[in-house]
Amino acid sequence: MTPMRWRCRERIIDLGHPVVMGVLNVTPDSFSDGGRYLNLPAAFDRAARLVEEGAAIIDVGGESTRPGSLPVDAQQQIERVAPLIETIRARLNVAVSVDTSEPEVMRAAVEAGACIVNDVKALRLPGALAYAAAAGVGVCLMHMRGEPRTMQDEPRYENLVGEVAQFLKSERQRCIVGGIAPDAIALDPGIGFGKRLEHNLQLLRELPTFTALGAPLLVGVSRKGFIGRVLGREVHERLYGGLGLAALAVVHGARIVRTHDVAPTLDAIRMVDAVMQGMNG
């Protein structure tokens, strides 16, 4: 049975009801909001707004992982995220996640006050798993085929859902063997990361396969390109499509929804949750 809490250092995040993770990119090139929050006052104001709108977690990233993006060295990521995380933790009562794959960035972020590592590479870089285990952070392990720069270059699967599920299952077990507590691990099927349109739609149809893996499921679909391809919408016209998918994800068992649009997403998933709680009661 999927645990209804997520252990993240000193915080226990209650997942009895689904929660929202608000996106805060301090990068010049993120696909949706790149460059908007590069200075600390603007970034902190955005964090405060996300908390006011109901975010349970703020996910701070200093490196874009959009398709085609180039790597950012660890020191530059640290310079972008650490001062912001420290300010958030000093002034806001919210769990902070760092969106990184680099162990050095993880360490700096945790020392600044982060309690979650959200890693698109599932703690596979050397030293990442060992650090996360030693720090006692909550972790989110994501499936991604390839690297952000090349992941959309004709991704192919023999058995999409089976391959993604097996990857997440094996990476979760690797982390447990490596010293991370089972209730500190969340899983993310990586919608939009090395997947074509039909892959993303299939993963969303078959989310119950991933909720059955024994860890809370995180889903991020906010403003993604496949929504634009289905609806013919530009990045900032994809809210309603994203809300539909967030609601669908919660129906299928997702407990954490990652989004740029916290308030409307929270309304949508709260309504779905109210219906689902009634059915389960």
pLDDT (tens digit, 9 = 90+) per residue, 16-39?
999 999 999 998 755 455 456 668
Task: Please report the pLDDT score of residue 153 as a whole number.
Answer: 62
Task: Record the pTM.
Answer: 0.92
Backbone angles phi, psi at 26, to 5 degrees: -105, 65
224 noted as active-site residue: yes
CA atoms of 178 and 210, how far apart (whole Å): 22
What are the structure tokens assigned to 133, written together? Answer: 């285990």
What percentage of the chain carries pLDDT values higher than 90?
81
Looking at per-residue confidence, does 102 or 33 come out higher? 102
Question: Which listed residue (11, 46, 224, 238) is catalytic?
Answer: 224
CA atoms of 247 and 254, how far apart (whole Å): 9
Ranges of each domain in the chain: 7-280
Question: Which listed residue (11, 80, 172, 258) is catalytic?
Answer: 258
CA atoms of 118 and 144, how far apart (whole Å): 13
Measured at the CA of 254, the angle between CA 253 and CA 256, to 5 degrees, comes to 150
CA atoms of 156 and 196, how far apart (whole Å): 8
At the topology level, CATH places domain 7-280 in TIM Barrel (3.20.20)
The confidence band for 161, taking pLDDT boundaries of 50, 70 and 90, is very high
pLDDT tens column, 197-214: 999 999 999 999 999 999
What are the structure tokens assigned to 280, written together? Answer: 């389960």
